[in-house]
Structure 1
Amino acid sequence: MAEDIDSRFRSPEAYELARLALEQLESQRVWPTPVNYELWSHVIAEPNGPLARELERIMVSGEPITDDLAEHLASTYLPKGRLSEQIRDTGQALSRELATAEQAIRSAHETSETFSTRLEETSRTLKKDPSSSALQGVVANLTDATREMQAQNASVERALAASTSEVAMLREQLEEIRKEAATDPLTRLANRRAFDERIEQARAEADTKGDFFCLVLLDIDHFKKFNDTWGHQTGDQVLRYVASVIRKRVLPPRFAARFGGEEFAIILPGDSLFDASPLVNSILKDVSASSIRRRSTNDNLGIITLSAGIAGFRAGDTVHDLIERADSSLYKAKRRGRNRLVVEGDA
């Protein structure tokens, strides 16, 4: 059965599966996160399967589909590692549908214009030198046929235009799903998978073009103690706060991600170690500029500080090499008292 489902995700039926999945998510007021999209896609592909029955039970009971519940369902009922591939395949299928629809519109329009032009030329020629009344009657009939064909083509064009609009809408929705798949849901920064892809891309470009870039790793100071004291929900509040500061400071083509836990990463293409330092120091300063309060009780949580380390790309570096040097600089900042930046090579 799993092979049958896989083949449907890779066939032309992917377009219809995507449309139905998004329709159901909307009708049931379930937010179309990557995991929810994957769950509903599998329900449509296997409507009588165990996942479909469990989701039906949950919806009937009125239990909300939270992120935690969706993750639990995915880990219980779905194979691992399929989401990004399904999204990619579905997106490719929709792209093909859109290209086909656009081509059909152009072809229908061009055929109609060409046929009409030729018949008009033939009619003018016969008017100048008619060979018989019967032949003129044939031309008149063909002219009527042309009008009918033009009307039919106009109808086809309207239908194809509507199809194109629908496919374009689905492509936009799938693009949002792709973005969600690359985004950390808590901080709204890029997630670790997106970071891994981006830094590998930066390394490859640096190797081939001789470009330079820096990697920054930042860590929230004493976060475990803070989390244990105030609880995970307040810890999440702090993570969102730090992420908001990073997001304001790090603008494209620079790239920020949640690296894991309370750690963040920034890729700075084209920046030297000297250029990168002021940006990182401004983030540290902004984060520690004021104390924050616990949202649920208004308790003063004190000042949040960060430690940071920077490493610059060297010819022949692997991603592991670069991360290791940035991490080493980060831990030097921790050992030197925290709330500071250390640049690799800084004695």
Structure 2
Amino acid sequence: MSAGIEVKLRGPDAYILARKALSAMEQHQIWPTAVNFELWTHCVGDPDGELAREITRIISTGEAFTDNLSDELAAAYLPKARLNEQIRDAGDALTKELASVSQAIETAQKSSVAYGETLASASKTLSERDDAAGVKSMIDNLATATKRVQKENKSLEKRLSDSTAEVARLREHLEQVRRDATTDGLTNLANRKAFDEELERACAEADAKGESLALAVIDIDHFKNFNDTWGHQTGDQVIRYVASVIGGRGAPPRFAARYGGEEFALIFPREGGDIAIATLEEIREEVSSRMLKRRSTDEDLGTITVSAGLAERLPGESAHNFVERADGALYASKRSGRNRVSRAERIAAAA
């Protein structure tokens, strides 16, 4: 992605790009969601770039510009420099702060050594001399050295106190950046990247400890029709509602994530299939029990349902195969009429 786009987006040209993006999206009947708007703004701002070429190809083939496709394009082409820059800047600041503290400690150590040498010298002088003038001079030197060390120690204490607060702030900033990078912006559940990492970790832990592990994939039934009828904003409202129900039963050690579009995933560490099935039935029943209303007009939207598929992991089974079996169970629910939970057969795993 051209660095010039970032410059344009922070100047008067940003308004021109925004109008061009909206016009292009309207021309191709693309919904102006936040992700789509960013994609098309970069597209019209860099018409010869890789993203623009890929969007042109997609439009020319007549492929539907779905939410999943938008998310994939964003992951592949939108600049990640902002996130990387935040991490790099915070890391650099943390390194400088620690270096400063190390230097302050080194200075204090040198001062302590010098003070020790002053005391040794004073002790030697005291044993060799008994005249009042010499003793007075020695005492004055000790007093001066003591005041200097006290002053430096107070300065070091303040520096360490300030640095402790700054390091804590930087650590919190880095943690927030990490959370942002692994959280889905619409639902506040974990995103696909975080899910992939967590599933790999959970599989490794299950193998190491010989524990059970279950995985569910959940999908909103007939969501495309709902989205086409009521629009993306209302569709997002439905996604957030379903996410809240799933998230309510996905507290640690469970792990809930938005898998993509209207699809979600729920990891059940150290839990058997029967418990997981019961949880999925609770989710399914709660989602279908609520009569939804359109937030902007208070119109009745009716009810929605979800379908789910559950797989229990086999020893040594790869994460990829594990997900495929859960997906297969989800499609079995879809084929059987939707609004139901299906369980994957325990067949031999292709590790």
- Normalised by the length of structure 2, the TM-score is 0.72
2: CA distance, partners of 1:101 / 1:214? 49
- CA positional deviation for 1:202: 1.3
- CA positional deviation for 1:315: 1.9
2: CA distance, partners of 1:123 / 1:93? 45
SS at match of 1:314: coil
Cα RMSD between the aligned structures? 3.4
Judged with a 3 Å threshold, the aligned counterparts in structure 2 of structure 1 residues 102 and 274 are, in CA distance, closer, same or farther, namely farther
1:55 aligns with 2:49: no
2: CA distance, partners of 1:196 / 1:145? 61
- Tell me if the contact between 1:311 and 1:326 (Cα under 8 Å) persists in the aligned partners: yes
Deviation string, structure 1 residues 13-41 (Cα, Å, up to 9, x no partner) = xxxxxxxxxxxxxxxxxxxxxxxxxxxxx
- CA positional deviation for 1:92: 4.0
- CA positional deviation for 1:165: 2.1
Name which of structure 1's ranges 159-168 and 314-323 shifts more when overlaid on structure 2. 159-168
Q: In structure 1, give the amino acid aligned to 2:10.
A: L
Q: Name the structure 2 match of 1:333.
A: 333
Give the 5 Å matches for 1:92-111.
92-100=91-99, 103=102
SS at match of 1:337: coil
1: CA distance, partners of 2:218 / 2:78? 34
- Tell me if the contact between 1:216 and 1:310 (Cα under 8 Å) persists in the aligned partners: yes
1: CA distance, partners of 2:125 / 2:279? 79
- Tell me if the contact between 1:105 and 1:157 (Cα under 8 Å) persists in the aligned partners: no
Determine which structure has more spread, i.e. the larger CA radius of gyration. Answer: 2
* Residue segments in structure 1 that go unaligned for 5+ positions in a row: 3-41, 43-48
Fraction of identical pairs, as percent: 39
Deviation string, structure 1 residues 60-98 (Cα, Å, up to 9, x no partner) = 99x9xx955656667768875556655554454444345
Give the 5 Å matches for 1:1-347.
51-57=6-12, 67-68=34-35, 80=79, 82=81, 85-100=84-99, 103=102, 130-132=129-131, 133-134=133-134, 136-345=136-345
Q: Name the structure 1 match of 2:49.
A: none
Deviation string, structure 1 residues 188-229 (Cα, Å, up to 9, x no partner) = 111111111111111222233323211100000111111111
The count of corresponding residues between Structure 1 and Structure 2 is 297
- Tell me if the contact between 1:220 and 1:306 (Cα under 8 Å) persists in the aligned partners: yes
SS at match of 1:219: strand
2: CA distance, partners of 1:254 / 1:226? 30
Judged with a 3 Å threshold, the aligned counterparts in structure 2 of structure 1 residues 53 and 157 are, in CA distance, closer, same or farther, namely farther
- Tell me if the contact between 1:105 and 1:161 (Cα under 8 Å) persists in the aligned partners: no
Q: In structure 1, give the amino acid aligned to 2:302.
A: G
* Residue segments in structure 2 that go unaligned for 5+ positions in a row: 19-32, 47-76, 347-351
Deviation string, structure 1 residues 169-201 (Cα, Å, up to 9, x no partner) = 233123212111111111111111111111111
- Tell me if the contact between 1:310 and 1:342 (Cα under 8 Å) persists in the aligned partners: yes
Name which of structure 1's ranges 141-150 and 265-274 shifts more when overlaid on structure 2. 141-150
Q: In structure 2, give the amino acid aligned to 1:54.
A: L
- CA positional deviation for 1:301: 0.9
2: CA distance, partners of 1:175 / 1:58? 34
SS at match of 2:205: helix
Judged with a 3 Å threshold, the aligned counterparts in structure 2 of structure 1 residues 162 and 60 are, in CA distance, closer, same or farther, namely farther
1: CA distance, partners of 2:15 / 2:142? 62
SS at match of 2:215: strand
- Tell me if the contact between 1:291 and 1:301 (Cα under 8 Å) persists in the aligned partners: yes
Judged with a 3 Å threshold, the aligned counterparts in structure 2 of structure 1 residues 344 and 164 are, in CA distance, closer, same or farther, namely same
